[in-house]
Every structure is written in structure tokens, then in C-alpha cells.
Structure 1
């Protein structure tokens, strides 16, 4: 009675090339054929001479021996001219020969293998690798075929289930299930893996072709999902762009009476003067007027171009407490960093805390409800969120800026502007620093803002909110399609195994 073996398609983060994934699928189907054909299977130890851990030493720029490490193996290839050296005191134990197989025994690429072919003379290998060497009854290329199949990976992943740091040792390797094959069958399997037609395997070749066709169909579905996700992103950008150019409210303007934006700007200016006279905010240097020849795009006649700083009672970044991270405590005042700021709101799962004493010393950057927080440095520069009305107390570090509109009416609208492609491009254009990854206050304050009339701001917020709600529904549907497509792909491949 034939034994039955079941293997699983395992998505591996370090195998990304389609050609490589297709090879793994093909190899698994070939091996499954031989597992099912014979009444017995082997262990890996039955087809190899030995296992040997690598040599522990520091890499050198020069030396007697080429010293091959995991990091030197990229996309199944080794650039021997770039491999460092060492001086090995036991060359006979660690010497590499053609046909040797190396397997990574720890880390993110645990289980990944490499077939040695014509290594430089006196080459050896490093300690995080295990060498296996085929015995006289086995072909290195056939063992390599096994090591590049889901028949192998199913077992490796199963051995590391629940492990925080994946690893494999020589004993575990030796006990992996391996298909029994005659010498001729090993040769046939190697040829089939390379796509060579072999007499007597017509049904197997049809099965391989069907599985790869199913895989390609599922991948096409996934590609369509990814394309739809990109379309959702483009739609989002388009909604914001139309909003800040007045295109989304064009029909509304034709049928509505309202005061021009200049009236709103005058209200903002008067309120700032009142706040200064009450000593609630400091008087700052007046920003330059906006010249017609400097505006980035056309806006409706009753709108105004203004500068960001003119609409705000406060702008500016925070600072890092003395002592840096050592000043953080387990509970206290929320200390907001760039990793907490996202366009859809604050994410507080990894929020830091500072003492009330430090918070009082940093009173100039206390966060308030309706504030806008903008990341002004690093890879997340430009991300911006609105601080909601139920926020209690917090402060910010030097990578985050507060933008506090004079009127809360402006908060949501300014968030729309800041998240738009226009403002994001302005950030790129005006930022400074060694890596061009910094937006200073003076540059930020001077970024131009298209200001609509007061009533139109309310209409823009309403229309954008509705559009974003519909877009989020579409995004959820696309995400669901992607998840289902991935499930289908796994199911289709597993049925072939």
C-alpha cells in the first residue's frame, strides 16, 4: 500500500521572484510523484555522507581561505570576488567541493540552501551554515531539487512553528522525510525540473502544467487587486486635489450666496490681533504678501491665496527631554512622536510617556484638541493628523510640529490641504537638512494655502467626508478580494500537492 504525503504551499518572504516560486511548485509536484509511487520513503541522512557546521572566525580582507557567509549568497549566486577571507586552521574539515550543499541554520533565511559549483581553491564556509554532502547513491542536483521544494519547506516551517527565532540543526535536517528514487528516477526528476521532456511522465507533466497555469491565474487576480489598490490611492489624491481647487464644489457655488474668502481671512486676522493683545499668543514677524505670479494653480474668483502661518495661532515643533529615552516613564503625560502620527489619526499603541514636571517645562508645545500634528522629518515626513476633541493631555518631540488654526472651522480643511499632493510636494520642495529631510517652521509657515469662503469650507468638508467614506468602502472590498485571491492561490497549489 502506497504511503501518502501531504505538503503545503508556504509563502516565503525571501523567495520573491516568480521564476523561483514556480520552480518550487514544479519541484514539489515532481517529488510528490515519487513519494506516492514508492512504498517507502527515506530520511535525509540516508542520502548524505555527513553534516558539518561551518567554521567560526572573523572575516578578513586578505588571507589563505575564501570565507563564504550567508550574506554572500544572493539570488542563488555567489560573487566569489567579493567574498572575504580567513585563515582556517582545519581546512580538511571545512573545505568546499563542487556538489556540496550549504544550508542556513538560523535567522530570517533559515533553511535556505545553495549548491556549490567550482568554488575557488581552499574555500571554506562560515559558522551559520551547515554543509551536507551527497553519498555515492545520491545526486547532489536531486538533493538540491528537494531543498528547493515545498516538500522541504513544509517540514522546515513545521519544525519552527511557534519559534520566535527560526533555526535548524544537523539532527533535525537528518530526520527530514526524503523520497526514495532509483538512480534513473533521480536523473529523470532533475530533467523534469529543468523543463526537459522525459518519456513515461506525460501525466506528471500535465499535472505540473495545470498547477502552474492555476498559479498564474491566481497571480493575475492578485495583480488586478494591487492595481485596484493603486487606483484607490489615485482616487484619494484626486478627491483632495479637486477639493482644494474648488472643483468639487463648482455646482454648489452656482446656486449659493456667500461672502468671499477675504471676509474669513479678515476675521482670522482680527482674532489673532485679539489673542496677541490678551497675551495668549506671541506676535510674530509678518509674513510676506502673496504675489499673483507665485501661486501654484488657479482657484475660484472668491477664494484667496494665503500663507499657512497667517491662519494659525501657533506653529512649531517640540523637543526631546534631557536624557532622551531615559526620561520616559511607564505612565504619565503622552509624549507624541512621529510613529504615532498618521493621516487617519493618532495611533497610541506604542506611545511614550513623560512626567508632569517635564510636560510643564515644555508648556509651549502642549497638544490641544483640534490641533493638527505634522511629521516634519524622516521617512514619514508629511504625515498629518487631527487631534480629536476627547484628547486629554500630551506633548510632542522635535520630529512633530503643531499647527493650531485660529478657528477650529479651519482644522479639517487644512488637514485636507496638508494631505493633498500639492502640499506634500511643497514639503519636498522646501525641506532642508543634510538628507533634505527637514521642514523648518519658517518654511512651513510660508507654504501657500488656497482659502475658500467660510460657507464653502463647510461644503468641502461635507463632500470630502462623504467621498472618503465611499472610498474606504471600496478599499475594504479590494482588500477582501486580495485576501480571497491569496486563499485561492494557496488552495489551488495545495490541491496539486
Structure 2
């Protein structure tokens, strides 16, 4: 934001003030935006789209009959990513999205990001932090062109100029209708879209390849361990989606009931864990730890702090996002030794749908702590922490998160005593054991797959950026 990155003093004559007196609206750095808006080659959105409508003031549920989109589902490249899936039991017909509608975030960290409703999301509804509009019947404009322009630099700069509020910014229907877009004929719009789509198609192909490499990592690990598992890209876990997504019936005999009275604990899919313990040498997670498994502490953040604090959002299930991590003071760090992490510690996200079950390894020597939603697993020298992290991410590891989590209605968690009961391959020599040398070899092979996935993901980001820049070149006025 301009106000956060620069110190300015400037004045404006009274005839320039219009109906806005705020700092950003008249900022000198936005002069190119003002010239664009005054050009004869642009038109206001009010002449192109229907009046924006606000979404429903409801909270999405893990299950329901109507898909529910909110700001968290809108991505910065204009796509919709329906994770975590949320639903409503029902809604009025007029609140349903239709193919061709445009959805834009009006507040929150994705403020101003727009997405086109495709056939995939026809019949969904949307939350109150979004606005919905569509192209007017008599407007000679492409909804794809309008959506892309809103996400372009000039579109986003206009939103920066027009938004209102302090602390928590928002943009309302009138402000959206005041956005200006290039007044190109429909043929030129379609030519621009076709050019950009060629670049985006490459990004989508590369992304699928990257996803393939990531999903193949669990196949590599289980194959190396000679553990049969037919990989299924459609496999789902209740603790990730909040829904069973199938109707099942099974029974449990009284003498088989142990530990807890909860149907997921006895799900037939856990027979895979029984076969694993029957056919292979295993150890409980706590038995190979050098310290008790514990959670971190709720941080007291300090923008000028010297110590990194890691949260579940920083665990990416393949790497740790240190760049986005917040900070705490050295005093806070020293006062909470149990939350401190060391190189080689396995960090396990232990709360919340979607986040629960993410596993990463702390790989730095710098001091750091974790918050209260992450469990710290510190294993002995007979185990490669990366090998164990890969195992916990595999199907056999994720099944154990499925079995041992507690809670409902979105407030789910995995308690340290239950994480301690997880079973992992036992270290040793002989049939059924996995030596440290074998762990190192398998971990290295899995790491190669992940590195290739990261390389492809870097290319994906570059292609999306190329598509965005090409669109902006073609729409420069």
C-alpha cells in the first residue's frame, strides 16, 4: 500500500478534491490512473455490468446441498479454488450463481480479486464478503475480458484508489461501478483473450505435471517399503474435507471396541493400518522421540522481533514458508523453551480442517518457535526426520490423522497423546525393518520428486505472470 511504503507531503487545489478527501485517492503515484480514467478510450463499468449484489451473511458448513463460495476461494490469478469445500443446506433461487457471472472480493486479504463463474460453479451461492454482477444484455463486452481487466494492474490500482475504510478496507457496489475499462470492440477483446489463454494453457499444463510429481511421492515411499497401495487421486479424508462424501454401513463387535466410541475410529479403511502392523515391523511415534510430543505457545507478535514464529499457514506440506512468517521478541522466545524448535524437528499441523495433517521439517539453525496449533516431534538419531515426514504425508500416515483426530463442526484437533500413538516403520536390520541407511536413500529419492515439483511450480508462477503482463501490454491506453 502507498501509505505504508512512502512518506509524502502534498497539497491539492480545491477543484481537484471532488467527493474524496482521503490520502490515497489524490496520491501523486496514482496520477497515471487518473489519466487513464479521464481518457476518451474508456467507459465506466456502470454502462457494462449489472448492479453488484451482495452475498449471503452466512457461514459455510462442511456438508450441505449448495456449494458456498467466499473470498478464500478466489485466487490471485482469477481462478476459483474450492478448498476447503463449504456448503449451505439451502438458499433462495435468486442467490444462486450462474455461469458467466463475475464474483469479486469486496473486503479481506483478497479484496478486489475477481473470478468468472464457470459451468463448474453454476448453481453455487456466495458469501457476504463478495459481490456478484454480470454483463448487461446490450453491452458489447466479454465477461472474460472484464474479469481479466479487473485483475490487471490498472484494474487493481483503480480499486486501490476507490476503496474506502480504515484498518479493514472494502469496496462497495457504487465504487465498483465507477471503475473504468478500455472501450474495445468485441473482436479486439476476443483477440486479446485468445492470446493470453495460450500462455495460461501452458501454466495449467505445468501445474498438472507438478501436482503429478507431488502425488507420486507417496507412491515412491510406499513402493520402496514394499507396501502395496493402489494410488487413487480421488481419495478423500474426513479431517480434510469435513465430509464423508459417501454412504457407508459397517458393524463393530463389542469385544473389538477400544479407546473411543466414534464411528470414524472403526472405519473399514483402517484395515490398511492393521495389515501394515501385521506384515511389517512398526514402532509408536512416542517410542522413537527424545522428548515428549508437545504443542507450541500462542505468540505475542512483535514486528521488530528477531525470532521467527511458525504457524500452520506457514507449513506447506513440502516446505516451510519462512518469508511470510511473523516475528516475536527474543524475550518471548527465551520465556517459552517448550515452543522452541531445532533443526530436524518434525512439525505437525494439529488443528482445523484442511490444515490438520500438514507435516514439514524445520531445516534451519536460526532460533524459532511454533504456535499452539503445531506439535513438535523430535526423534532419535536412528530415524531420518524427512523419511518420517514423508511417511506421515503418505496414505498410511494420513489414515492415522483420520483415525485419531477429535472434535467436530470445524473445531477439530489432534492431541499430542494421540499423535504419540501413531505407528511408523521400525528402524533396525532384518526382515520388516528399515535401517537408517535405507531411510536416507528413500528420503533422497522422494526429495528428488519434490524438487522437480517445485521447479515446475516456479515455472507455473512465471507463466501466470507472463500472461498477466501480456494482457496489460495489450490493454495499455
Counterpart in the other structure of 2:215: 234
TM superposition score normalised by structure 2: 0.50
Separation in 1, partners of 2:160, 2:411: 37
Separation in 2, partners of 1:341, 1:171: 35
Separation in 2, partners of 1:294, 1:149: 47
Cα pair distance change 1:216/1:43, threshold 3 Å: closer
Residue 351, structure 1, aligned to residue 332, structure 2 = no
Counterpart in the other structure of 1:311: 288
3-state SS of 1:395 partner:
strand
1:71 paired residue among 15, 36, 55: 55
Judge conservation of contact 1:315–1:401 (CA < 8 Å) in 2. no
Counterpart in the other structure of 1:442: 417
1:407 paired residue among 381, 405, 412: 381
Counterpart in the other structure of 2:304: 330
Separation in 2, partners of 1:445, 1:346: 23
Separation in 1, partners of 2:317, 2:428: 25
Judge conservation of contact 1:232–1:475 (CA < 8 Å) in 2. no
Q: Which runs of 5+ in 1 are unaligned?
A: 1-40, 55-67, 84-101, 114-127, 132-139, 180-188, 194-203, 248-286, 288-292
Cα pair distance change 1:103/1:178, threshold 3 Å: farther
Judge conservation of contact 2:400–2:422 (CA < 8 Å) in 1. yes
Counterpart in the other structure of 1:469: 448
Q: CA deviation at 1:377?
A: 0.8
Judge conservation of contact 1:106–1:166 (CA < 8 Å) in 2. no
Counterpart in the other structure of 1:186: none
Deviation by residue 1:62-87 (Cα, 9 ceiling, x = unmatched):
xxxxxx84438x99xx978669xxxx
Q: How many pairs does the alignment contain? A: 321
Cα pair distance change 1:397/1:230, threshold 3 Å: closer
Residue 430, structure 1, aligned to residue 404, structure 2 = yes
Cα pair distance change 1:430/1:244, threshold 3 Å: farther
1:371 paired residue among 342, 345, 353: 345
Q: Which runs of 5+ in 2 are unaligned?
A: 1-39, 57-67, 70-90, 97-101, 117-129, 164-170, 229-258, 260-270
2:395 paired residue among 421, 435, 453: 421
Separation in 1, partners of 2:397, 2:149: 49
Larger radius of gyration: 1
Deviation by residue 1:190-222 (Cα, 9 ceiling, x = unmatched):
xxx8xxxxxxxxxx7xx9998888777766655
Separation in 2, partners of 1:482, 1:297: 41
Residue 457, structure 1, aligned to residue 453, structure 2 = no
3-state SS of 1:315 partner:
coil
Separation in 2, partners of 1:416, 1:409: 12
Counterpart in the other structure of 2:370: 396
Q: CA deviation at 1:306?
A: 1.6
Cα pair distance change 1:171/1:244, threshold 3 Å: closer
Counterpart in the other structure of 1:161: 157
Q: CA deviation at 1:449?
A: 1.3
Cα pair distance change 1:386/1:295, threshold 3 Å: same
Judge conservation of contact 2:401–2:414 (CA < 8 Å) in 1. yes
Separation in 1, partners of 2:346, 2:155: 49
RMSD: 5.5
Aligned counterparts, 1:199-218, within 5 A: none
Separation in 1, partners of 2:156, 2:272: 61
Separation in 2, partners of 1:341, 1:163: 31
Separation in 2, partners of 1:463, 1:406: 18
